[in-house]
Structure 1
Amino acid sequence: MAHDSIPMARSAVLDGFETTARSCGLDIEALLRRARITPASLAEPELPVPTASIVSLLEDASVAAGNPSFGLLMAQARKFSVLGPVALIMREQPDLRSAVISLTRLGWAQAEALESALEDDGETAILTLTLAPELPRPATQTIELAVAAIVLMLRHFLGPDWSPQMLTFSHRRPADTRSYVRFLGVTPVFRMERNSIVMLTADLNRPIADADPAFGRQLERLVESVSRQRSTARSTQVAEAIRRMLLTGHCSATAIADLFGIDRRTLHRWLADEGVSFSQMLDQTRTALCAQYRREGSHNLTEIAGLLGFSSLSAYSRWRRMRKSASSS
């Protein structure tokens, strides 16, 4: 049975959240709990997190801190590497225009349901960011975080003193706009039709020093191949989540349900609709990983037990005996 998948993001999107929340004196665990985001997402950058949950988390954090600039502050605490494989692809493009186009084409690899598009009239270029309509509103902090992150990314290529020609936001103007000038170099125009970054076409034409475009194309084909192989089946998303969560030592049906912002009953219903169960998927994932680790020979049995999410070597041994017994019966 086909299902609409939930828009997900890499947990790397949360990079900078813990530092910013702590500096604002916030209760991080309470905020994560309310947004139904597992704390493991702050330590493991490749866990799937519902994009909607991230939007809600940032809005709640801004309100709790009494700071409408929470998203801007969070962007300052991040590194260019937060973009993961997309950052590598951008770095190997021949010029900034090609790098930005790569970002617009592969943005889904960072956060689904947040799209960008580039327009250029030969003198000025406009990069527009759009949130999918099914995401929660308001989403002020998410939009400002994304815009600030892109401005900082552009400075990575154009130099630390670069600023956009103009910024536009669809949300209301806050009472104090000094943080925009301090962090982004300009005061945005508010209550506009779209959220955008306006820059000179000449900036986009800047070459990227020491780039290897051939390597960039190889990386891009690899990422696109992953995209084509993606299944919209929810069980596929759950299988990847199990694989990631096993490494944290906290893989359970409840923990996986929390990743997707749902309860356990809903998770079990999802999987039952596709003819599988959580215990089957957990067992299959452990079996595949166990075979991989033993084949590689780089881990001892105690380490393998931990990597598969077992609390002890004896628990791992019992599981292996049960697997052997089941396969021989």
Structure 2
Amino acid sequence: MAQHLAADSQPPRDRSRNILAAAATGVADFIARTGGRPEAVFERIGIDAECLGQTRRALDLADYVAMMEDAAQETGNDNFGLWFGQRYQPQMLGLIGEIALAAPTLGSAIEHLALWFPWHQQATETRLTRRDGLLRFEYRILDGSIVDRRQDAELTMGMFANVFRTCLPSGWAPEMVLFEHARPASWRDHEAAFDADVGWSQGTNALVFRDRGLDRAM
């Protein structure tokens, strides 16, 4: 598996903090389906609804993260990001999703995601590491000015988990999921969504998984 750990090497980043609008594909419908008013969320945050889901348009990362936090408030669904991420398939992610799906194997897809995700979402670190005999796909926003980012972390871990689920047999689950933020009130939903134990108040967000099935064709 040494070849997969090469994803620790990161492409260069600048000081920008954009995210491709493809990451918001379907968010308006999901807000509406969970009892909220998407137009109210977009107006409060200052987001142009016309660009959401367009694969080549960009949003400010802070606005994107704030939109997810506001959507949780608007819908009264404290686990908004968790459930939005669980239904978010790789093909909805635009170019970075296409890169993962076009990879020859699952291991290669994960390696590509770790290496190239900071081009899809700037001011972000993604790494594939090994610790205590397990692999970890780590994710965290580097911009310290973006403080409230729980919803983003939970939806992003769901997006990444769905790359595994696209390739592996039904019933795949990580060994554990880690989050930077403290444990929320409805934390049992997170264990049910990922079918795994969840660690809170960690140094990074991560999917922890075994070195199994990574040679399976995408």
TM-score tier after normalising by the smaller chain length:
0.7 to 0.9
Higher helix share: 1
Q: Quick check: 1:180 aligned with 2:190?
A: yes
* Aligned residues of 1:20 and 1:73 also touching (Cα < 8 A): no
SS of structure 1 residue aligned to 2:199: coil
1:43 is displaced (CA, Å) by 5.2
What is aligned with 1:269?
none
Question: CA shift at 1:86, angstroms?
Answer: 2.5
What pairs with 1:49-64 in structure 2 (closer than 5 Å)? 49-64=59-74
Q: Distance in 2 between matches of 1:94 and 1:43?
A: 26
CA distance in 2, matches of 1:174, 1:120: 28
Query: 1:98-144: CA deviations, max 9, x gaps?
Result: 21110011113322123210112583101111101244211000011
Of residues 121-130 and 13-22 in structure 1, the stretch that sits farther from structure 2 once superposed is: 121-130
* Segments of 4+ moved more than 6 angstroms: none
Counterpart of 1:103, as a letter, is L
Q: Using the alignment, how far apart are the partners of 1:103 and 1:177 within structure 2?
A: 27
The aligned residue for residue 146 of structure 1 is 156
Is 1:33 paired with 2:43?
yes
Aligned-partner residue type, residue 193 of structure 1: G
Counterpart for residue 45 of structure 1: 55
Q: Which one has a larger percent strand, Structure 1 or Structure 2?
A: 2
Residue identity opposite 2:26 in structure 1: G
CA RMSD in angstroms comes to 2.0
Partner of residue 208 from structure 1, selected from 184, 196, 217: 217
- Find the aligned partners of 1:116 and 1:68 in 2 and give their Cα distance: 25
> What is the CA distance between 1:10 and its match in structure 2?
1.1
Corresponding residue for 1:17? 27
The structure with the largest alpha-carbon Rg is 1
TM-score, normalised to structure 2's length? 0.85
Larger RCO of the pair (alpha carbons < 8 Å, separation 6+)? 2
Q: Secondary structure at the match of 1:126?
A: strand
Q: Is the 8 A contact 2:168 2:216 kept in 1?
A: no
Deviates more, 1:88-97 or 1:123-132: 88-97
Map of 1:110 onto structure 2: 120
Match of residue 213 from structure 1: none
CA shift digits 1:230-269 (9 cap, x unpaired): xxxxxxxxxxxxxxxxxxxxxxxxxxxxxxxxxxxxxxxx
State TM-score, norm by structure 1.
Answer: 0.58
- Stretches of structure 1 that go unaligned for 5 or more consecutive residues are 210-329
Q: Distance in 2 between matches of 1:66 and 1:163?
A: 28
Q: Secondary structure at the match of 1:72?
A: helix
The 8 Å contact of residues 167 and 197 in structure 1, kept in 2 or not, is answered as yes
Does the CA-based 8 Å contact 1:122-1:201 persist in structure 2? no
What is the CA-CA distance between 1:83 and the residue it aligns to?
A: 2.6
> Counterparts in 2 of 1:207-246, with a 5 A limit?
207-208=216-217
Distance 2:201 2:212 in 1: 28
CA contact (8 A) 1:62 1:70 kept: yes
Moved more, 11-20 or 119-128: 119-128
| Residue in structure 1 matched with residue 5 of structure 2 by the alignment | none
